[in-house]
Structure 1
């Protein structure tokens, strides 16, 4: 396909944006965010000494962002430059810093002005725009932007911004999502400095980005506690502690991270000489003294003793953090009710429980639309009961529950049908095997050992309970089944994980736009269709492919950039349960 870029900054601007969007999706999935609404765009502000045609450019140019959002941006950049705090900064012994100062001021001022220009758009669309540092690319100061729905931060709350006495001290990252988006944009700004950015692959290493984000985020507690940077890499240190055994026993226990002089800290005993938190084997040894009642008391550098918090402590000041060691190489850090981060075998993630209720309700509605709200609420209560137990377990909801329990009778304990209650579930889940209920919550069997063949969805990185649930649930043919798997390490999985629902009218609207598109306006429906190709049935695929063929065969001017879109074919897993109307 050929496309004329009206708001042209450089030849690979669309490739660059696609690459950043792909990287963002993979990183968000790595920390546990699936099917999140986010967008990536680039805004370019004309350099003062350039003769390019347009003062402001945007990529993509024919989608939802109107250039009117950035009307007056050039003037706003000038104001930001005049008011920039570095204007009055002088480097007496650093000639290079003095030479770089004007360009650094301009780059920061462009980003600040773009961020301010997007504030009203963000407010109107329930979004938060993360704005990277602008970089000069062929006559334009290009700003990479990631816009993400604020719903993410309602499910995974940020720490509050504090009023710091030292105005030059960074606030740090407010949560793990905040940290990964900042690192992605920092990487994007660096790539914009390379020759022909977007021409090659970004070669981003997803795990490294996520771990770097966790490293960065866990400097935030020290800033909150002492308003200073820590010399301790807390993420790395906690991972090392959680990996160690003491006399054959893996790490279990709690650490309260705070200023030890905080009024809400009550010491039961204090060490004569504080234990350096960097001495991980020593810390692992003293961790053995902690319990449900008593925790180690620490700041970002030392362990000071054993103690607890006063009963009525209010975490709203966000000056105290709790680290819990849950299992071997598995820990989490929280502030009050907010679980900020979990790490399992050095893989940082968001707390899986946030949003699980909504996901479960969505799956129940789509798989079993004939059940009542009361029946679904009872199943939710059953799942919450399982997650609060201190052991691994599994609950299977199956349309064919009765016949399946009869088939598997020799591999478990069939029971007379009964409405399962949370109290009863707590008792019967103590034995090995799975509890099987139907979509109305009627239990037919307990302690059932599931069967099933290996499936592509199985993974050697997960335990036998998880893979057993996957093998049983996926090959269901016409019988709908759902498994809630609580692993020994308290990880909660809902299998299968259904894709987000989409409106049929939205599919038809974008097909129609593509069918009537020209070389000037095909890009928006083409991109939307490419991002959502899973949802198209056979007839819709035929229409889309015909429209793509027509556009590809249109005559074009010399100099147009050619992009190839893979043709659509129906996905065997797509069905009407993924459609809203």
Structure 2
């Protein structure tokens, strides 16, 4: 420890709400690679001193600005707090994993698919979309439609409003706003969206089934586990390749997960 506090049993070293102002002063010395060390001693949380980051084991709280902090353990983010909201996932890490997963598929239309996902995430509510390629799309639309497990629609691009010949400029703006509201509406419908690799939606409100083929992750919700099982079912029983079918699950707090499945 670079700096140890003397007479640490004194009230001034207690890490509690009653000591808020003093704690803030002490934290001014804990910048960059230096951290304030707090440990439990006889039922109380006491400030022990200042140490270099990585030299001390245990949980770490990092303040990233006003009303922003993260709780980490061993470099892994356990909890984030931002503007009154708590988040259990690490957005930056999820973002990196998501981009890596999409790029790893080596898709011809990878750029368009990223744009589609970006557009859906901008709606700021949880949604999910399954991307199916060619024969997979045709077969699944037929199967799901015949069993009333998806509402098929005339293919519509998420990225661009329908082309209309406008005489007045304000009519174009009105159409763009209407289209935006339409996208918010269909992405909010319970169930998944089904899209092709060009970013066109072919079905909404899809209830995706399939025999249980993978172990569920109980730390995640039903939507994620359902799509994870569905994609792996397509690969295991339908013998499709991972680059022919994958799902993207987006949560309300901005989190994102790509489910590719494995042969």
TM-based fold match above 0.5: yes
Greater C-alpha radius of gyration: 1
Match for residue 385 of structure 1? Answer: 119
Q: Name which structure has the greater RCO, CA cutoff 8 Å, separation 6+.
A: 2
Aligned-residue RMSD, C-alpha: 4.0
Aligned-pair CA distance for 1:431: 1.3
Number of positions where the alignment pairs a residue of Structure 1 with one of Structure 2? 189
TM superposition score normalised by structure 1:
0.28
Please name the residue that 1:471 is paired with. Answer: 229
Greater share of strand residues, 1 or 2? 2
Q: Is the Cα contact below 8 Å between 1:368 and 1:439 reproduced in 2? A: no
Alpha carbons of structure 1 residues 173 and 485: separation in structure 2 relative to 1, 3 Å: farther
Please point out which of 29, 39, 56 is paired with 1:186: 56
Q: Is the 8 A contact 2:157 2:200 kept in 1?
A: yes
For residue 173 of structure 1, report the CA deviation from its aligned partner.
Answer: 6.2
1:492 aligns with 2:252: no
Residue 471 (structure 1) shift: 0.8
Q: Distance in 2 between matches of 1:334 and 1:486?
A: 19
Supply the distance in 2 between the matched residues of 1:378 and 1:361 (Cα, whole angstroms): 13
Q: Displacement of 1:333 after TM fit?
A: 2.8
Normalising by the residue count of structure 2, what TM-score does the alignment of the two structures yield?
0.57
The answer for the alignment partner of 1:415 in structure 2 is 153
1:371-520 alignment, distance < 5 Å: 371=109, 376-399=110-133, 400-409=136-145, 410-421=148-159, 423=180, 425-475=183-233, 476=235, 477-479=239-241, 480-488=244-252, 490-496=254-260
Asked if structure 2 preserves the Cα contact closer than 8 Å seen for 1:433 and 1:448, the reply is: yes
Alpha-carbon contact 2:155-2:202 (below 8 Å) kept:
yes
SS in 1 for 2:208: coil
Deviations 1:505-548 (A, max 9, x none): xxxxxxxxxxxxxxxxxxxxxxxxxxxxxxxxxxxxxxxxxxxx
SS at match of 1:186: coil
Q: Equivalent residue of 2:188, what SS?
A: coil
| Structure 1 residues 460 and 358: CA distance shift in structure 2, 3 A | closer
Instruction: Give the drift of 1:355.
Output: 5.6
Q: Where does residue 4 of structure 1 map in the other structure?
A: none
Provide, for residues 247-296 of structure 1, a one-character-per-residue CA deviation record: whole Å limited to 9, x for no partner: xxxxxxxxxxxxxxxxxxxxxxxxxxxxxxxxxxxxxxxxxxxxxxxxxx
Tell me the alpha carbon deviations over residues 404-435 of structure 1, each in whole angstroms, 9 at most, x when there is no partner: 11110111211223333273532311211111
Q: Which runs of 5+ in 1 are unaligned?
A: 1-84, 94-163, 176-180, 188-208, 222-317, 324-329, 336-340, 498-572, 575-581
Q: 1:482 to 1:186 in 2, by over 3 A?
A: same
State how far apart, in whole Å, the 2-side matches of 1:174 and 1:321 are: 21
In 2, Cα distance between the equivalents of 1:464 and 1:406? 24
2:79 matches 1:321: no
